[in-house]
Amino acid sequence: MKNNLKKSILTVLSFAVLFSCSTVKNANHKQKGAVVGATSGAVIGGVLGNNVGKGNNTALGAIIGAVVGGVAGGFIGDRMDRQAERIEEEIPGAEVTRVGEGINVTFNEEAGVYFDTSKSNVKGTSAQTLNKLAGIFKEYPKSYILVEGHTDSAGPEDYNMKLSQQRAESVTNYLIAQGISNGRFTTKWYGELQPKADNSTAEGKSKNRRVELAIVANEELKDEAKRKAGQ
């Protein structure tokens, strides 16, 4: 199911990009974003709706669910482009993916946010990474942030669920302590239920022990985008 889901995403995104490039050859970046926002958002939502609903990729589902589309979606996409670039600049190890009108950021043990075995406190390099992230969230205040905690499959499932909760809440609370409004955050945890890699290998387990973020436009930014678009 996981591999089929990934293939569906890549297929639909490829189609959307080809469609936008072929129909708007001389469009600037923002205009291309409007075409993709108006077409691929609905298509991707249709392809992935059932999978997301079953909990296979909730971060992606949150981004898809926040799509505005049209010219307003292009305006939001432009803002998200710039914010994603800032995250990549400040936190080179983070896995940053622009999806539709949002941003998916993944931190695993090799990407700046990690925890000691069976621990959930933020310290050292993780604190430095989250300090940088908090600074970017202050630069781009018109967004909601979903924070998710995930683990590998080692240990009992109920233990992993609790550990992922503690780690997700630890990241959220740390960012709030840096001055980010708690009203911007939603915090979820899934234990070992949403692996990104093969839990039978050490490398796969390392990738599955992660904190994942979905960043989407808040209502203020959506309203601003609609006004700019004359919607």
Q: Of all helices (H) and strands (E), which one includes residue 96?
A: strand 95-99
Query: Is residue 202 classed as helix, strand or coil in its secondary structure?
Result: helix
pLDDT at 127 over 90: yes
Take residue 166 and report the two structure tokens written for it. 């503690």
Predicted confidence band at 29 (pLDDT cuts at 50, 70, 90)?
very low
Q: Domain spanning 2-229: which superfamily?
A: OmpA-like domain (3.30.1330.60)
Taking CA atoms, 1 is separated from 33, 50, 57, 133, in Å, by 29, 11, 11, 32
174 contacts: CB under 8 Å, gap ≥ 6? 122, 127, 130
Where exactly are the structural domains of the chain? 2-229
142 contacts: CB under 8 Å, gap ≥ 6? 79, 217, 218, 220, 221, 224
Residue 118: predicted pLDDT = 80
Predicted confidence band at 117 (pLDDT cuts at 50, 70, 90)?
confident
Residue 5: predicted pLDDT = 43
pLDDT at 20 over 80: no
Query: The pTM is what?
Result: 0.76
